[in-house]
Amino acid sequence: MTSSPASDLPVTLADIKAAAERLRGKAIRTPLLNVPALDDELGFRLFIKAEPLQRTGSFKFRGAYNTMALLDPEARARGVVAFSSGNHAQGVAAAAQLLGIRSTIVMPKDAPSIKIENTRSYGAEVVLYDRDREDREAIARRIAEDRGATTVKPFDDVRIIAGQGTTGLEIAEQAADAGVTVDAVIANCSGGGLVTGCAVALAALSPTTEVYSSEPAEYDDMARSLSAGTRQTNAPASRSFCDALLAPMPGEITFSIARRLLAGGFSADDAAVARAMALAFERFKLVIEPGGAVSLACALQQRDRFRGRTVVVVASGGNVDRVTFAKALAA
Amino acid sequence: MTSSPASDLPVTLADIKAAAERLRGKAIRTPLLNVPALDDELGFRLFIKAEPLQRTGSFKFRGAYNTMALLDPEARARGVVAFSSGNHAQGVAAAAQLLGIRSTIVMPKDAPSIKIENTRSYGAEVVLYDRDREDREAIARRIAEDRGATTVKPFDDVRIIAGQGTTGLEIAEQAADAGVTVDAVIANCSGGGLVTGCAVALAALSPTTEVYSSEPAEYDDMARSLSAGTRQTNAPASRSFCDALLAPMPGEITFSIARRLLAGGFSADDAAVARAMALAFERFKLVIEPGGAVSLACALQQRDRFRGRTVVVVASGGNVDRVTFAKALAA
């Protein structure tokens, strides 16, 4: 008897199923959207896993809640701390509120005020820092040490990966319910928690499904790391309006999974992402933020590769302000 | 034994359940969306039944498909005809395509080109007419007579009402699954097919739920008809950007149901509707067209009435062009 190819990975299907149990009734089982008339035009079947409809407007709530639900009562009493300028901040704050845990989020002073307000609205204490003069990790570490608080990492943690992997578990279950065989899943990638969590779930439940990462063109560290076989970083001067996907390199744990399970990595530039946002608006009636629309942009670019096949893209979030969204529609 | 209070209505729960069977696997069971943090701000629990995510981008597919699925083989072979400038056109065309029925849609020459193109994309023959010089009903009647085609009415038909009523059936089932007791449902009203179909389903399955119609301020014929006890018309010079809700008066069948089952009618002006569209964008990540957002606008206006209660608004469609949507966000 040979062991399952993924049985020695740091995150297993059992971890993801346990996370799904913890998230039951807390996270939203987001729909898998499909527009049959669009499929005819594209030449392949396209489904969107709609995480903008998730609690806090992005998938980040899944991993944050799973991680904090696993803390023991003493750790819960000491609170949690996280640093993030966006979706992870809101995910941690909302999960902490639900679990009755005190949360402190370290955010840059110049973060969009809507994101700061949203994070506060979930009851978090927000500590602002100056990007140019202060080190957010040092601030978070000091808070963690002073209070004995637990740091909730954005991606490189097995509890986070298992939580994000419930997205992939749902894709497998929803596709099976609909009688659909999924040939490929594309998930947006910053540090890699979402795409690797999904890959673990799909490797176990739908082994013929290829899983790809998608990244902004100048932040394609995962794609290059997969090609090189070792973790690569992004150029310091890189630019993208996909503000949710700007991690400097893949995580250690996430990359150890990615190199085993991913079929490859795609990337798309800002113009392609804006077109994807407009398509989601027009045909799916779904609001996707720039970083959430990269997978969709990549799927549209890969029409030839996917001809006649069935592709699920994970739209990872919808936290975009009105002006940015209107600009994407006008592009 | 007394009979159920609604047992003598022209549409019954059994009709709606039969429609739901016909629609199984064809219509999308659209999600009931909720944003807990928003509930805290509003002071009442707010759910959106997300029909923009329905096939063709509005609830209209439900009634159109149910009606055509009930045609006998001879009638199907002769085809169907409908007149509409918008969502009904797309619903009829898409349903006809699925059922292998030839469809002809009479549309005004100056309808938005996107709506004409969408209707054609479902395989319909589009006959354009001049609003100022031609009578669309006469054109449709001539086509129906020439070809023996069946006219698919937009609202005043028991098969249409039963199909739209599956929206209400799903609301009752989804609320029960979530352990939620719904105090009020608000549904957008043009001719009244959607709101009365929902009212029949809810009267049977959730009798304590109040059902309200919602209309544009200058097109509040249902609200005034309910007050007067007889059908009232809108002033000819009325204006609203809710292009989906401009019927001149309630239908005969729909009003006979509305006067028995509705708790009342609300209305909202264009500015309130635009604010509701922006809120749906920001908090629900959902694209709602003007006519689809009137219920949400009315719920927001009725905060005092609904304090502490649970309200479901039906967002009936999302077929809005980019420029109109961007304007609503900027308002």
Average pLDDT of B91-114? Answer: 92
- Distance from A25 to chain B by nearest Cα, in Å? 9
Output the average pLDDT for chain A.
94
Q: How far is CA A244 from CA A190, A264, A291, B191, B297, in A?
A: 7, 21, 5, 44, 31
pLDDT above 70 for A128: yes
Using a CB-CB distance cutoff of 8 angstroms, which residues of chain A are in contact with residue B36? 55
d(CA B103, CA B106) in angstroms, rounded, equals 10
Give me the interface pTM, i.e. the ipTM: 0.94
pLDDT at residue A127, as a whole number = 94
Residue B178 pLDDT class (50, 70, 90 cuts): very high
Q: SS in 3 state form for chain A?
A: CCCCCCCCCCCCHHHHHHHHHHHCCCCCCCCEEECHHHHHHHCCEEEEEEHHHCHHHECHHHHHHHHHHCCCHHHHHHCEEEECCCHHHHHHHHHHHHHCCCEEEEEECCCCHHHHHHHHHCCCEEEEECCCCCCHHHHHHHHHHHHCCEECCCCCCHHHHHHHHHHHHHHHHHHHHCCCCCCEEEEECCCCHHHHHHHHHHHHHCCCCEEEEEEEHHHCHHHHHHHHCCCCCCCCCCCCCCCCCCCCCCCHHHHHHHHHHCCEEEEECHHHHHHHHHHHHHHHCECCCHHHCHHHHHHHHCHHHHCCCEEEEEECECCCCHHHHHHHHHC
Size of interface A-B (CB pairs under 8 A): 64
Neighbouring C-alpha atoms within 13 Å toward the C-beta of A197: 35
SS3 call for B18: helix
| Preferred mutation among B56, B277, B285 to probe A, highest tally of A CBs within 10 A | B285
Neighbour count for residue B227 (Cβ, 10 Å): 12
Helices (H), chain B: 13-23, 36-42, 60-69, 73-78, 87-99, 113-121, 136-147, 158-177, 193-205, 221-228, 252-261, 270-279, 294-301, 303-306, 322-330
Cα B84 to chain center, whole Å?
13
| Chain-chain contact of A325 with B281 (C-beta, under 8 angstroms) | yes
Residue B296 pLDDT class (50, 70, 90 cuts): very high
Structure-block tokens of residue B96: 């006809």
Percent of chain A having pLDDT more than 70?
98
Using a CB-CB distance cutoff of 8 angstroms, which residues of chain A are in contact with residue B118? 37
Which residues of B make CB contacts under 8 Å with A? 30-31, 33, 35-37, 41, 52-53, 55, 57, 94, 118, 121-122, 278, 281-282, 284-288, 318, 322, 325-326, 329-330
Average pLDDT of B284-289? Answer: 98
d(CA B92, CA B97) in angstroms, rounded, equals 9
d(CA B250, CA B212) in angstroms, rounded, equals 14
pLDDT above 60 for B30: yes
Tens of pLDDT, residue by residue over A232-278, are 999 988 888 888 888 889 999 999 999 999 999 999 999 999 999 99
pLDDT at residue B331, as a whole number = 83
pLDDT above 50 for A2: no
pLDDT at residue B247, as a whole number = 87
Chain A residue nearest residue B35, CA to CA: A55
Amino acid at A117: E
Structure-block tokens of residue A6: 């993924």
Output the average pLDDT for chain B.
94
- A5-9, B157-161, B301-305: least confidently modelled range: A5-9
Indicate the pTM of the whole model: 0.95
Amino acid at A137: E
With contact defined as beta carbons under 8 Å apart, do A275 and A301 qualify?
no
SS3 call for B95: helix
**Which residue from A40, A46, A118 is spatially nearest to A86, judged by alpha carbons?**
A118
With contact defined as beta carbons under 8 Å apart, do A86 and A114 qualify?
no
pLDDT above 70 for A5: no
Percent of chain B having pLDDT more than 90?
85
pLDDT at residue B246, as a whole number = 85
With contact defined as beta carbons under 8 Å apart, do B297 and B276 qualify?
yes
Q: Which of B31, B41, B286 is opposite residue A285, by nearest beta carbon?
A: B286
pLDDT at residue A6, as a whole number = 58
With contact defined as beta carbons under 8 Å apart, do A206 and A234 qualify?
no
- A159-168, B209-218, B239-248: least confidently modelled range: B239-248
pLDDT at residue B6, as a whole number = 58
pLDDT at residue B7, as a whole number = 66
For chain A, the maximum distance between any two Cα atoms, rounded to a whole number of angstroms, is 59
Look at A244 and A283; give whichever has higher pLDDT. Answer: A283
pLDDT above 60 for A321: yes
Report the phi/psi class of residue A322: left, alpha or beta, with left for phi > 0 and alpha for psi in -120 to 50.
Answer: alpha
Chain B residue nearest residue A178, CA to CA: B25
pLDDT at residue A96, as a whole number = 98
Tens of pLDDT, residue by residue over B39-52, are 999 999 999 999 99
pLDDT above 80 for A85: no
| Chain-chain contact of A287 with B278 (C-beta, under 8 angstroms) | no
Tens of pLDDT, residue by residue over A264-276, are 999 999 999 999 9
| Chain-chain contact of A37 with B122 (C-beta, under 8 angstroms) | yes
- A241-245, B149-153, B161-165: least confidently modelled range: A241-245
- Distance from B172 to chain A by nearest Cα, in Å? 18
Residues A84/A88/A94/A95 CA torsion (nearest 10 deg): -120
| Chain-chain contact of B37 with A322 (C-beta, under 8 angstroms) | no
Just list the catalytic residues of B. Answer: 60, 316
DSSP 8-state code for residue B124: P
pLDDT at residue B2, as a whole number = 40
- Angle, CA of B59, B65 and B68, to the nearest 5°: 145
Pairing mode of beta strands B210-216, B264-268: parallel
Domains and CATH numbers, chain B: 13-59+157-330 (3.40.50.1100), 60-151 (3.40.50.1100)
pLDDT above 70 for B241: yes
Average pLDDT of B19-46? Answer: 96
pLDDT above 80 for A113: no
**Which residue from A294, A301, A283 is spatially nearest to A316, judged by alpha carbons?**
A294
**Which residue from B296, B291, B323 is spatially nearest to B87, judged by alpha carbons?**
B291
Look at B112 and B70; give whichever has higher pLDDT. Answer: B70
Tens of pLDDT, residue by residue over A187-233, are 999 999 999 999 999 999 999 999 999 999 999 999 999 999 999 99
Average pLDDT of A318-328? Answer: 94
